């Protein structure tokens, strides 16, 4: 009797592992911002926002957008914090560094990227949808960005 219980105790975890390995599916998702439209329109922005919201491709092309997953960085002081990210995803993700000193860039940050403080970095997918806001001054935010980029590149 002890041998039967021992065999069952050993085979049960193996059976669960094999079942989950072949029939289970791990799925992770990251949110799509403004999928049902922009609700909190900034006061300085006089424009109509489509639903679901996508950043204008003509504006992005002015900044050299290539049609891939893109990271737009509005604070160039965090460039050194993102070197790890650039090394890991340089072939798959385009990084655009912008400086927010001009009024037209401020309008782009506020009205098109819908960027609010303390966020200085925006992740766009290849369909120009906003997938995340980040403040890469902290290691935790850079780690979160890397994880979400891996999810985005594997799934979409």
Q: 57-107: per-residue pLDDT in tens?
A: 888 998 889 889 999 998 888 888 898 888 889 889 999 998 756 666 888
53: in domain:
yes
Residue 40 near residue 65, CB atoms below 8 Å: no
Query: Which residues, 6+ apart, have CB-to-CB distance to 115 below 8 Å?
Result: 74, 109, 122, 133
In a domain, 8, yes or no: no
Cis peptide before 118 (omega within 30 of 0): yes
More confident position, 128 or 44? 128
**Any idea what the Cα angle at residue 155 is, between residues 22 and 67, rounded to 5°?**
160
pTM assigned to the model? 0.80
- The number of domains in the chain is 1
Give residue 50's domain range: 30-155
Confidence of residue 156 (pLDDT cuts 50, 70, 90): very low
């Amino acid at each position: 009797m002890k041998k039967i219980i021992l065999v069952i105790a050993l085979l049960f975890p193996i059976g669960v592992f094999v079942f989950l390995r072949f029939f289970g599916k791990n799925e992770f998702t990251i949110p799509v911002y403004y999928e049902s439209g922009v609700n909190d329109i900034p006061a300085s922005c006089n424009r109509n926002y489509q639903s679901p919201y996508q950043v204008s491709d003509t504006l992005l092309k002015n900044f050299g957008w290539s049609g891939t997953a893109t990271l737009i960085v509005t604070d160039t002081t965090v460039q050194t914090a993102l070197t790890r990210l650039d090394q890991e995803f340089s072939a798959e993700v385009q990084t655009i560094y912008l400086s927010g000193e001009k009024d037209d860039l401020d309008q782009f940050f506020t009205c098109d990227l819908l960027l609010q403080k303390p966020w200085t970095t925006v992740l766009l997918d290849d369909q120009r949808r906003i997938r995340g806001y980040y403040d890469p001054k902290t290691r935790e935010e850079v780690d979160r960005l890397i994880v979400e980029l891996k999810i985005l590149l594997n799934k979409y």
